[in-house]
Structure 1
């Protein structure tokens, strides 16, 4: 099981079946805010949906294709972060994340992303890591900017959220940029 101490009060723990109810509860409690940017929220209507997500995340890890972790702040589940997919051929990965509104503006996503970058570049020896965020999602876009990612461009109408196609901005960091400090 993956467990990483981000800082004194924050840990990343790979999601497992024991997280089902807490994750479902967090998702439903903040569904109105989360569904603005996350297409899966409107389809997460029962704890069975969350259980299926966790099962697929556990399979992803078993397949050696990344993982999904709960962001825990002082013991409370605050959000999720992980690698969407690890492309072994190109030595690349994509990071995805979300955080519940009460935990915003505490640097939890930024410090958690920094931990994933260290894992990606220092342990997995990946060449490239991407983050994609909706163009209008300023909070999410601030994370790669703070970490020194390069903005590569815009994917027009690339993600369908609540019946609307959103433009997405692509950011990347290469291993050599990480090694020299972002």
Structure 2
């Protein structure tokens, strides 16, 4: 049975936990990132009110069946610096999708890898999830290297797969199965 609350996961040098009101400055800090608001529901306004609404939506994802949204935080300070999700809209087929973002000042430190490894290990340990998928734009080498480092296998290119901003974009599809 899928958990009915967002758990707190520890390991790999990060904590994955539910978003808190104290994480509003993080959300505000990525509002002007050139990519994060295009591929997520992070607001572009940068206001505290909109950041709090984003946080509320992350909590609501579980109730609506969309999945689990975790803040990625430092285990010693609890400062959040990113987000990772385990999306369960295709759970009836035994599939979950994952995705993540890291605020610019915290990139290239292994946090995305640590968060994805923890989230994938947790998700693939759930009885209902027999396959975890990840979609990455081909140009995003840092992200596809992260996926590969976490045991995700590249399966192919999905042409014109997703609307990103004003254009259709190709996506590489990766997967990982339990026990991999």
TM, length-normalised to structure 1? 0.80
* Structure with the higher strand share, 1 or 2: 1
Deviation at 1:168, TM superposition (A): 0.8
How well do the aligned residues superpose, as a CA RMSD in angstroms? 2.4
Q: Aligned in 2, Cα 1:144/1:92: closer, same or farther, shift over 3 Å?
A: same
* Structure with the higher helix share, 1 or 2: 1
TM, length-normalised to structure 2? 0.81
Deviation at 1:86, TM superposition (A): 4.5
How far apart in 2 are the matches of 1:103 and 1:87? 31
SS in 1 for 2:136: strand
CA contact (8 A) 1:35 1:161 kept: no
Q: Aligned in 2, Cα 1:39/1:14: closer, same or farther, shift over 3 Å?
A: closer
Deviation at 1:63, TM superposition (A): 4.6
CA contact (8 A) 1:70 1:77 kept: yes
Alignment-derived partner of residue 6 in structure 1: 11
Deviation at 1:40, TM superposition (A): 4.2
- The residue correspondences of 1:11-50 to structure 2 (distance < 5 A) are 11-16=15-20, 18-19=21-22, 21-28=24-31, 31-35=32-36, 38=39, 40-41=41-42, 43-45=43-45, 46-50=47-51
How far apart in 2 are the matches of 1:68 and 1:56? 9
How far apart in 2 are the matches of 1:162 and 1:90? 29
Alignment-derived partner of residue 150 in structure 1: 153
How far apart in 2 are the matches of 1:84 and 1:139? 21
Alignment-derived partner of residue 107 in structure 1: 110
CA contact (8 A) 1:157 1:165 kept: yes
Q: 1:133 pairs with 126, 136, 144, which one?
A: 136
5+ residue gaps, structure 2, are: 1-5
Moved >4 Å (runs of 4+): none
Alignment-derived partner of residue 3 in structure 2: none
